[in-house]
Amino acid sequence: MKHPTRHRPPGRGTSQGYVLIVGLLFLLVLSLLAVSMMKSFGMQEKIAGNTREKQRAFEAAQSALRYGEWWLGQGNGSSGALCKSIVSVTANDWSSMQVCSNALTNPTALPWTPARADYSPPSMAVALNGNLGGKAASGDINYAAPPSLYINYLGLSQDGLSMLYSVTGAGYGGSAATAAVVQSTYQVGASTKDLGKE
């Protein structure tokens, strides 16, 4: 007995091959898009983390600078002396604060040596490994080092009635590689005036 032969419609076998190739191309394109999106999200997370660390370092430096300006405003200014040592200062005990007659040679080279004041604000947790130590008891993330402060006597104002000071603060984020330095010129006399805000 003879079996009937089946006839395929013309062009059906070739169109199935094209569908497979187009499907594989779509799959390849979608895979490439997914990989690039993952890389993009990873980069955005790094940028956000670096921005946060930069802001933390800036705020720490700013707190030291403001403390130095406040301390000068309390009538503690003098013509200073040659500073040769590193001192520790807390917010409640400023007895070891100093005014230096010598200027910082390079304020951006941290940590400053041979002299500076390491200022410890209330509730700031400092750990040698910074961020890696986890959260501190205060709820804040650990800082790599305490903020530093340097007050330098610049001389008398043009009218000779006020004393001028350079106040420099430095702060760190969660690592020693993330640091910020801020500086102001401060005038103490009959009235206290921050020359950086004019």
The residue that leads in pLDDT, 44 or 181, is 181
Please tell me the distance from the alpha carbon of residue 90 to that of residue 87, in angstroms, as a whole number: 10
- How far lies 133's CA from each of 60, 121, 142, 144, 153, in Å? 18, 19, 7, 10, 38
- Gap between the Cα atoms of 184 and 178, Å rounded: 21
Comparing 123 with 149, which gets the higher pLDDT?
149
Which are the contacts of 191, defined by CB distance < 8 A and separation ≥ 6? none
pTM of the model: 0.72
Instruction: Report how far apart, in Å, the C-alpha atoms of 190 and of each of 67, 105, 112, 161, 193 are.
Output: 20, 30, 32, 7, 10
- pLDDT of 130: 64
Q: Quick one: pLDDT at residue 124? A: 82
Are the C-beta atoms of residues 188 and 69 closer than 8 Å to each other? no
Read off the pLDDT band of 93 (50, 70, 90). Answer: confident
Whole-number pLDDT of residue 187: 92
Q: What confidence tens digit (pLDDT) does each residue in 165-177 have?
A: 999 999 998 888 8
Task: State pLDDT tens for residues 8-28.
Answer: 655 555 566 788 888 889 999
Give me the pLDDT at residue 163, please: 93
User: 151 near 120, Cβ under 8 Å?
Assistant: no
For the segment 101-115, the average pLDDT, to the nearest whole number, is: 90
* CA–CA distance, 141 with 153 (Å, rounded to integer): 35
